[in-house]
Amino acid sequence: MVLPATGDGYPQAMVGTFVLRVSRLALAVVTITAIAAVGGRAPVGAAGFALAVPHSRALPRAGIVPPRNPPRNLPPVPNFYAYCAVGALDDTQACNSKALQAIDRARGTEPIGPLRFSLAKFLKLSVVDQLFAIADLERVSRGEPPVTALTIQLDKSAQAGAGTGDDPTLSARTLSGGAQVRAWGSNWAGGSESALGSDDGWMYDDGFGSHNGGCTSPKATECWGHRDNILRPWPRDLTGCTSANSELVMGAAYAKSSEWDTSFAEIFVAACGPKPAGEVYTWAEAQAAIGLKSPTAAGTAASAGAEGYFVVSSAGKVPVAGRAAAMIGPIRQR
C-alpha cells in the first residue's frame, strides 16, 4: 500500500509501525578538555572536534553532519517496503533499487548528491559487508573519515546483538591487537528487509514524530541518535592520540529473528594504539567491490590515500577520545 503524500511529496506514514529504542549517548572525559565535565562526563556534542591530516587534505564537509541534524523526518519515497519481501531478507534489485532511490531523494534535501556505486555489485556482498559499505558511503560523502575495517572481534559483538534482537555492546577496554577503546556506539534494526532499508531508517527517519521511541520530544537527546552514530566524528576532541595510532573500526551482523523476522546490528569503535588484529574486510576492498564510480562529496575532487581511500588522510584515520554508550535502532512491527 502506498500512502497519500504530504505537500512536500513525502508520505504521511510508512507501511507498518516502527518503534526505535535508543539509550542515551554519553562520553566520558578521559583528559582535560575545553568543556568542563560534570561528574567525569561531558555532554554529547560539547567538545570541539579536530582532525589530524598529516599528509593530505581532508574532504570538506558536505550535507548535514553532527551536531546538526535534519529539520524533519523523511519517510521513504518511493515507499520501498511495497517492493520488498515481507518478513524476510530481500537482496533483490527490485527491492533495493527502490530503497536506494529513497536514500538518494532524502540526501537531496540536505543538499548532497546521490550515492554513486554499482548496486548490482553491492548486492553481491554479504549483508555484513553491505552494512559496512553503506555506513562508509554515508560518511565519506559528507567529508567524514571512513571506518577503515570490519574486525572479527567487533563482528562477534554485533552478532551477539543481532542474535538477541538488541543493541551490540562492548565490555572490552582494548581491541584485539592492543589499541585502547576510547569511544563506541551501536545501532540495531529489526524487521527491515535489507541493509539499505536499515540505513534509510537510521539516517533519514529518526527524529521527533518518527518511529524512534526514545525521541519523545523535539529536543530529546535520543533524537537522531542512530544517524549520529553513523556520521559521528569519533569523537570531537583529541586526547593526545597521534593520527598513526588512531583507529576507527566496526562490526556488523545479520540474523533471523523469531520476533522481528530480520535483525541487523552494527557497532562503531574508535581506539588509540596499534592496528587491530583480525581485520576481515576493509574500506579499500569495499570500494573496489562496489565499483565506487566517483567522489561522493559534492563538488570535491578526491584523491586516493595510501590505502586506497577517497579520503581524509593518508591512512584514513581519525583521532578519538571519550566513550559512547550503546544505541539501538528501528523495529518494524506487523
pLDDT tens string for the chain (334 positions)? 222 333 333 332 223 333 333 332 222 222 212 212 222 222 222 222 222 222 233 456 789 999 999 999 999 999 999 999 998 999 999 999 999 999 999 999 999 999 999 999 999 999 999 999 999 999 999 999 899 999 999 999 999 999 999 899 999 999 999 998 988 999 999 999 999 999 999 999 999 998 777 789 998 988 999 999 999 987 553 378 888 888 899 999 999 999 999 999 999 999 999 999 999 999 999 999 999 865 443 333 333 332 222 222 223 333 222 222 333 333 332 2
Q: At what angle do helices 195-204 and 93-107 cross, to 10 degrees?
A: 20
CA separation, residue 199 to residues 230, 265, 310, 314 (Å):
9, 11, 21, 27
User: CB of 188 within 8 A of CB of 166?
Assistant: yes
HSE-up (13 A, CA, CB side) for residue 239: 23
Identify the CA nearest to 148 among candidates 233, 268, 242.
268
What pLDDT score does 244 carry? Answer: 83
Supply the pLDDT for residue 157.
Answer: 98
Q: Which residues pair with 269 in a beta bridge?
A: 184, 249
Q: pTM to 2 decimals?
A: 0.74
At residue 233, the pLDDT reads: 84
Note the pLDDT of residue 236. Answer: 56
Task: Supply the pLDDT for residue 160.
Answer: 97
pLDDT (0 to 100) of residue 174 = 94
Cell (9 digits) for 141 = 560523502
